[in-house]
Structure 1
Amino acid sequence: MSTVLVTGGSGFVGIHAVLQLLAAGHDVRTTLRRPDRQAGVLAMLREGGIDPAGRLVFFTADLTGDEGWREAVTGCDYVLHVASPLSTTVPKDEDEMIIPARDGTLRVLRAAREAGVKRVVITSSLGAIGYGHPPRATPFDETDWTNLDGDDVQPYVKSKTLAERAAWDFVACEGGGLELSVVNPTGIFGPVLGPDFSGSIEIVKLLLSGAMPAVPRIYFGLVDVRDVVDLHLRAMTAPEAKGERFIAVSGETLSLLDIAGVLRRELGPAARRVPRFQAPDWLVRLAATGVPMLRYTLPMLGKVRKSTSAKARRLLGWQARSNEEAILSSAESLIRLGLVKA
């Protein structure tokens, strides 16, 4: 078994990565911005049914500074670079997201190169692939890149695009023998292990809580966090994954109204607050003047982005859970942990 560093181990994808690596028998290290997050990580691992038993080591490191990265990566065979700035609102200055994402990625890559790491797998996003383009019927694939001049390119999308571009440029020009693979997930759903979860899970929480009387007309692809991590682990060791990027999407693109329908159909009384109607775009735009999270959705109104994970299935034998399972496991875990009222 190998020694693997997971950056951002307290985050939603990060904790599931630590969980699966430990379950597979690897020795795991993870970085946290603050050492006081260790207890929370251990609690989430227990919720996931794993006792690290001395095989997990914590390091303090932040994407905005050099301290701690060399120590964290020395002696590692692989690195899963999962950590990235994330916000459910639009920051006043886009550099608040762009600079930590891009410069943090380069910090991790430099440390990995100097430590003789074999391969780094970076968690990018469909945001680096499918935005800034005119409407199209054909699915986006790994040959596509987001057009940063498009009118639907939010700071988060820009940060993921620029960070991934910088990673590929670094490995091509300065990487030495370092190998790189990239995973580009769509909206990440799946079981919550604690209070840290993705923006996609926040949507499920809002639907269940009745915070939205009607849903905006937005669409996205889904994937379960467990399958995102499984793809990372396959990309970590498979020879075929060297120098490749892989979209992670489980099925058809869904609307928020479709997601609400799954919750109402399958959860019974627990979904009694879930909205039944789709709001007209003009009403969403009006409401967004007073609701920061809605402002984040405005460029997405009515835009359907299809994508395909055929490459991951073909090259790596990857299989994903259904959209329905990803949605329901999100909701059921939120309810079980008391993070939303049933």
Structure 2
Amino acid sequence: MGETVLVTGGTGYVAGWCVAELLKRGYTVRATVRSAAKGEHVRAAVSSEVDPEDRLRFAIADLTSDNGWADAMKGVGHVLHVASPMGMDGADTQSLVVPARDGTLRVLRAATEAGVKRVVMTSAANTASPSSYRDESVSDETVWTDVNDPTLQPYRRSKTAAEKAAWDFMAGYDGPMTLATVLPGAVFGPVLGTGTMGSVRIIGRLLKGMPGTPRIGFEIVDVRDLADAHIRAMTAPEAAGQRFLATGEFMWMLDMARALRDGLGADGAKAPTRNLPDIAVRGMSLFDRTLKEIMPALGRRAVHTTAKAERVLGWKSRPAAEVVVDCGRSLLSHNLV
């Protein structure tokens, strides 16, 4: 039986695939959930990909409370800290930043007290981006978003604040545990079940049909490749103390819709075939808070380099069109469209 790895936020989309991939590689996994019932949902979802046997266990813990974290860390060698509040449906800054930042510090404190070797934290590529969306230069891991920029949307601010808090904690920590952070782009790919789906809801909306797409694009990373990046960052000695961008190819939403139509045939026939005029999207954003938050990215091509992850970890994401089609096919197979 392999080493025990703790995965936080076990019900999440990315965390579920991290659990599955760890099990495939022979690890024993303990995942944090908010209730025992949620643990059984995770087990069922992961079982669609790999037989957990007796190597998947659960601990009750929440980012907003100290309760449960000491027990969750007992006997753990490594931690994948994936849990974070999602920035969907117009969530406000306070409801995202506080649990993301304070929850990260709870995890790190508990990990140091338990003698964990390394924590790998899921951050986001938009924490390594110029604060101004007008700057389209290629960004690497040396770039930091300005967390004090008043124009930042809540989710971007929460991810930046949490990662900064983690590195500040490590700067004041004098012990053997190390930290690495993984900074993904837009995460798509197959789903394990009908639970938390995160960003894949965008693919569902395209498949259901829209009058057109806003000129919004994403650097697309497959969720399976992202899980692989976490495990590589967990095991590579040279990953200690490092940030790693884990983005992929850039695609406009219209190109994503085209990939769904081409790759899924009749099942993708409702995907839109045109862009909405920018002026129409701006007008709709006056009444739709979710649209308002993405307005700074309208027409902008974000560019990050994954050269460091490729060089240090030997990591690479699969082609974006393949990721989008796999995601759409999976949503259809789970009757989620």
Structure 1 alignment gaps of length 5 or more: none
- For 1:175 and 1:263, how far apart are their aligned partners in 2? 50
| Cα distance change, pair 85–134 in 1 and its aligned pair in 2 (3 A) | closer
Give the C-alpha shift of residue 18 in structure 1.
0.5
**Which of 255, 260, 265 in structure 2 is aligned with 1:258?**
255
SS at match of 2:119: strand
The 3-state SS of whatever aligns with 1:174 is coil
The equivalent position to 1:298 in structure 2, one of 287, 295, 298, is 295
Map 1:148-227 onto structure 2 (within 5 A): 148-150=147-149, 153-174=152-173, 176-210=175-209, 212-227=210-225
Pairing 1:323-334 to 2, within 5 Å after superposition: 323-334=320-331
Residue 316 (structure 1) aligned to one of 303, 306, 313:
313
TM-score by length of 1: 0.95
Unaligned runs of 5+ in 2: none
CA distance in 1, matches of 2:51, 2:189: 21
Distance 2:157 2:234 in 1: 25
Residue 272 of structure 2 is aligned to residue 271 of structure 1: no
Distance 1:200 1:209 in 2: 15
Q: State whether residues 78 and 119 of structure 1, in contact with CA within 8 Å, keep that contact through their aligned partners in structure 2.
A: yes
Aligned counterpart, 2:12: 11
Aligned CA distance change for structure 1 residues 178 and 85 (closer, same or farther; 3 Å)? same
Judged with a 3 Å threshold, the aligned counterparts in structure 2 of structure 1 residues 94 and 175 are, in CA distance, closer, same or farther, namely: farther
* SS of residue in 2 equivalent to 1:120: strand
Count of aligned positions: 336
- Counterpart position of 1:239: 237
TM-score (norm 2): 0.96
CA RMSD of superposed structures (Å): 1.4
Measured after TM superposition, the shift of residue 289 of structure 1 is 3.3
Q: After TM superposition, which residue ranges in structure 1, 4 or more long, deviate above 6 angstroms?
A: none
Relative to structure 1, is the Cα distance of residues 175 and 299 closer, same or farther in structure 2, using a 3 angstrom cutoff?
farther
Amino acid corresponding to residue 11 of structure 1 in structure 2: G
Give secondary structure in 1 for the equivalent of 2:172: helix
| 1:75-114 mapped onto 2 (5 Å cutoff) | 75-91=75-91, 93-114=92-113
Kept in 1: contact 2:85–2:99 (CA 8 A): yes
Name the SS for the 1:64 alignment partner. Answer: coil
Q: Write the letter of the residue equivalent to 2:325.
A: L
Is the Cα–Cα contact under 8 Å of residues 188 and 198 in structure 1 kept in the other structure? no
- After superposition, what is the alpha-carbon deviation per residue over 1:154-209, rounded to whole angstroms, capped at 9, x for unaligned? 10000000000000010110252210000000000110111234442110000001
SS in structure 2 of the partner of residue 31 of structure 1: strand
